[in-house]
A and B are shown apart, each in its own frame.
Chain A
């Protein structure tokens, strides 16, 4: 604690050098240490919290379902298994698709009825020839999946990809054909 006294005794000593005052130095050090403590503690936590955002997406995970040559213009039922990972839960639900082709390409429809979630099938009721019919409440759909009764929306379709003569199916999406 001798500095202030020195200054007192030599009031004319040039203070030209732009030195940091002791108080300033202490404030900066204090601020820096605070910032380090806050940042150092928070950084791992923030990275921890945003991890799901930065994880590699498994999207576009297409599942090989059937040879293209087997697809006809009549819808056929195919089952395929997907792996769904939800954090520490992994499940392998079996999904069903009704696949047919026409001049617009291959259409793969999900058989989950858009009314109350029962399962529709193709041509399973004599009254609704060449239609998807739901046995629960009589919802029926055209081959494009357009709803004709009861249901509020057309059947969902799967994303379709064709590679090496096989049909690959991806995520479900709202119907794009039935307008």
Chain B
């Protein structure tokens, strides 16, 4: 299928295998039935579309600058108290699974059947709603199904979100990404490092392991959260705590607690467990001695 060498062509291919050039005649959908002013895509229409794009981008950039993306604390599989929440556009599904007929032994209804019917219906919409009519008010069945689904999704999302907020309030939890951000801001103001301490690396040893304070540490139930070896469990590790806190600061935390009671005031518990003020004083002194660098 050689094209035949016309003298006008500057480039000549030997054994020409090109598809024959079609005359340039793009198919135009016919809009003459709709009187009005149509215009070329480039540049006339695209310009208008890009004005919209410019406005959208400005709004978007303002959002990203003013609102930092949320980031919580490193994932800790042992954290049994975390209230999980999916991204907002999955909330309705998440809420659906809390209802009795979509959970327990009926869970398949909530996880498979309802989503399958909904999404299946959506995919097949052009074949289910195959009439000629396009106006939504002349397709009452399709439109009302869509309206009802929309309302249901909005309602479920709202209920899920309210439930989440309520649960946080009841358990007195501040969402981690907010807490982390506030702490980072405080730390930055105090000139301390703002990041999360990375585990591993060089292990910090316990200073004066045989000190009687170790026994007080156990007796006062500190071990319950901070671990028998001070390595931390549900509460942070106390190894090397002396690097960041002084004895007086530690005493204050024992007396008053910290983080809105996540670290509760433990003084009374310690006294109740049979420790004396002197023991507690010594415990704080010993903790303040826990420094990473010897």
A touching B, CB within 8 angstroms: yes
Residues of A within 8 A of B (CB): 112-121, 124-126, 134-137
Complex interface: chain A residues within 8 A of B261 (CB): 137
Q: List 20 A-B contacts (CB under 8 A).
A: A112-B80, A112-B234, A113-B80, A113-B81, A113-B234, A114-B80, A116-B81, A117-B79, A117-B81, A117-B82, A118-B235, A119-B223, A119-B233, A119-B234, A121-B221, A124-B221, A126-B272, A135-B221, A136-B225, A136-B264
B150 CB to closest chain A CB (Å) equals 32
B262 in complex: contacting residue of A113, A116, A124, A135, CB < 8 Å: A116
Q: How far is the CA of A116 from the CA of B173 in the complex (A)?
A: 9
Is B80 in contact with A117, judged by CB distance below 8 angstroms?
A: yes
A110 CB to closest chain B CB (Å) equals 9
B78 CB within 8 Å of chain A: yes
Is B80 in contact with A135, judged by CB distance below 8 angstroms?
A: no
B224 in complex: contacting residue of A115, A120, A126, CB < 8 Å: A120
Is A135 in contact with B234, judged by CB distance below 8 angstroms?
A: no
Q: How far is the CA of A114 from the CA of B83 in the complex (A)?
A: 11
Chain B residue with Cβ nearest A110:
B80
Chain B residue with Cβ nearest A79:
B228
Total chain B interface residues with beta-carbon distance under 8 A: 20
Question: Chain A interface secondary structure, helix, strand, loop or mixed?
Answer: loop
B171 in complex: contacting residue of A113, A116, A119, A126, CB < 8 Å: A116
Q: How far is the CA of A136 from the CA of B225 in the complex (A)?
A: 8
Complex interface: chain B residues within 8 A of A119 (CB): 223-225, 233-234
User: Of residues B79, B221, B233, which shows the largest number of chain A Cβ atoms within 10 Å of its Cβ?
Assistant: B221
Is B78 in contact with A135, judged by CB distance below 8 angstroms?
A: no
B269 CB within 8 Å of chain A: yes
Nearest first, the 5 A-B pairs at minimum CB distance are A116-B81, A117-B234, A119-B224, A117-B80, A135-B221
Is B79 in contact with A135, judged by CB distance below 8 angstroms?
A: no
**Further pairs besides A113-B80, A119-B223: 12, Cβ < 8 Å:** A114-B81, A116-B171, A116-B234, A117-B78, A119-B225, A121-B221, A124-B221, A125-B272, A126-B272, A134-B224, A135-B269, A137-B261
Q: How far is the CA of A129 from the CA of B262 in the complex (A)?
A: 24
User: Of residues A113, A115, A136, which shows the largest number of chain B Cβ atoms within 10 Å of its Cβ?
Assistant: A136
Chain A residue with Cβ nearest B269:
A135
B153 CB within 8 Å of chain A: no
B266 CB within 8 Å of chain A: yes
Is B264 in contact with A137, judged by CB distance below 8 angstroms?
A: yes
Chain B residue with Cβ nearest A126:
B272
Q: A112-B78, A112-B80 are in contact. Are A118 and B266 (CB under 8 A)?
A: no
Complex interface: chain B residues within 8 A of A135 (CB): 221, 224-225, 264, 266, 269
Complex interface: chain A residues within 8 A of B78 (CB): 112, 117
Complex interface: chain B residues within 8 A of A118 (CB): 224-225, 233-235
Is B264 in contact with A115, judged by CB distance below 8 angstroms?
A: no
Mark contacts of B58-82 with chain A using CB atoms, 8 A cut-off: 1 yes-contact digit, 0 otherwise: 0000000000000000000011111
Q: How far is the CA of A124 from the CA of B173 in the complex (A)?
A: 26
B144 CB to closest chain A CB (Å) equals 39
Complex interface: chain B residues within 8 A of A124 (CB): 221
Complex interface: chain B residues within 8 A of A114 (CB): 80-81
Mark contacts of B81-94 with chain A using CB atoms, 8 A cut-off: 1 yes-contact digit, 0 otherwise: 11000000000000
B34 CB to closest chain A CB (Å) equals 46
Complex interface: chain B residues within 8 A of A113 (CB): 80-81, 234
B173 CB to closest chain A CB (Å) equals 8
B202 CB to closest chain A CB (Å) equals 18
Chain B residue with Cβ nearest A153:
B80
Chain A residue with Cβ nearest B235:
A118
B149 CB to closest chain A CB (Å) equals 32
Q: How far is the CA of A136 from the CA of B233 in the complex (A)?
A: 13
Complex interface: chain A residues within 8 A of B262 (CB): 116, 136
